[in-house]
A and B are shown apart, each in its own frame.
Chain A
Amino acid sequence: MSQMTMKEAKLVDGLELLFVSAPGAELAKAREDQASEVRQLVRGLVDTVPAVVPVVGASLKDRVRALQQLAARRPDLKPRLATVFGTKKPDSARQIDELVNDLIRSGLLKAAKKKKT
């Protein structure tokens, strides 16, 4: 085994198990600042990691779902998404495609890799 011996790797597994099985209250005790640091990290990722939108064979439903998820975590983008969620209803699937592609180019959504056939 590279870098760690088998015994060391097992010890890390065992220590991980100790923390996995620990009562939550024990872990959180007197660690509010640290928990808050991790919560901040999680919150930041939820807000910024782009959703994956299937590119090939994606249904209109899948694309609309991706836009809904984006709108849910980025209220500031709602005006931009008005064609889908606002009073202006999309008049075609093409309009949804254009919006999704535009958002992928902006980095707000992420295109899924083309599946190998």
Chain B
Amino acid sequence: MVPRSAVEGALLALSDGDLMRLKRIAQLRSFGLEDYGWDDLLQEAISRALAGTRVWPQDVPLVAFLAQTMRSISHEARNSPGQERVDRMPAQGNDGIENGIASATLADVAIDEITPERQTAAGQALKRIEAAFAGDSEALAVLHALGEGLTPEEALVKAKLSRVSYESAQRRIRRKVAKMLDQGDLS
């Protein structure tokens, strides 16, 4: 087990890039959560690591460990009683989404009456991301490949892009998604 002093040292030594990486991951993982903002999620993950209730394996990079912890917390939160009404919402395809819900906040959706026509707020946020790339076929191809759970190598083949074009599309996606997250377009 990594001693607390080592966890503290590693946390305090995180670069600006790694801190932003953690923030972006926390923002993505808090999609559709009623009780957690990105900062709550990150705070909970770090608290567990510091308190030793979640053990950091020495051979795993700290950022990857915290990302995995946030993923678990997000999963726990989705399945907690407080999320029950949202959980009962049926998974929908991409069709039949009411326009009005697009501007609702995640919390609004959680407490609204659940109807079969409505998709989850988390799904809406992801649809907004896809919509933002409507005019960028390369980025869309990468997003679709990600949605199929392909590895980067598989995604590159599937998207039929050169490595340079693929990496460029990845950068565009990161830039635009980061901007949308910062502007609150996805919450």
Contact = CB atoms under 8 A, between A and B. Distances in A.
Chain B binding surface SS class: helix
B5 interface: yes
Contacts of B170: 18, 22
B52 A38 contact: no
A10 to B, nearest CB: 4
A5 B79 CA distance: 14
A27 B17 contact: yes
B78 A2 contact: yes
Chain A binding surface SS class: helix
Interface string A22-61: 1111111001101100110111011001111000000000
Given A14-B149, A20-B64, A45-B43, A5 B20 contact: no
A11 B89 contact: no
Contact of B53 (A2, A18, A52): A52
B50 A49 contact: yes
Contacts of B99: none
A16 interface: yes
B107 interface: no
A3 B78 contact: yes
A77 interface: no
Interface stretch (A65-73, A84-92, A98-106): A65-73
A51 to B, nearest CB: 5
Q: How large is the interface on B (under 10, 10 to 19, 20 to 34, 35 or more residues)?
A: 35 or more
A47 B50 CA distance: 10
Contacts of B168: none
A2 B78 CA distance: 8
Contacts of B108: none
Contact of B126 (A8, A24, A31, A41): A8
Given A8-B123, A11-B146, A27-B21, A51 B51 contact: yes
A28 B120 contact: no
A19 B28 contact: yes
Contact of A24 (B17, B52, B143): B17
Nearest to A112: B52
Given A42-B14, A51-B52, 13 more contacts: A4-B123, A11-B143, A11-B146, A12-B29, A13-B146, A16-B71, A18-B174, A19-B28, A27-B16, A42-B11, A42-B12, A50-B51, A52-B52
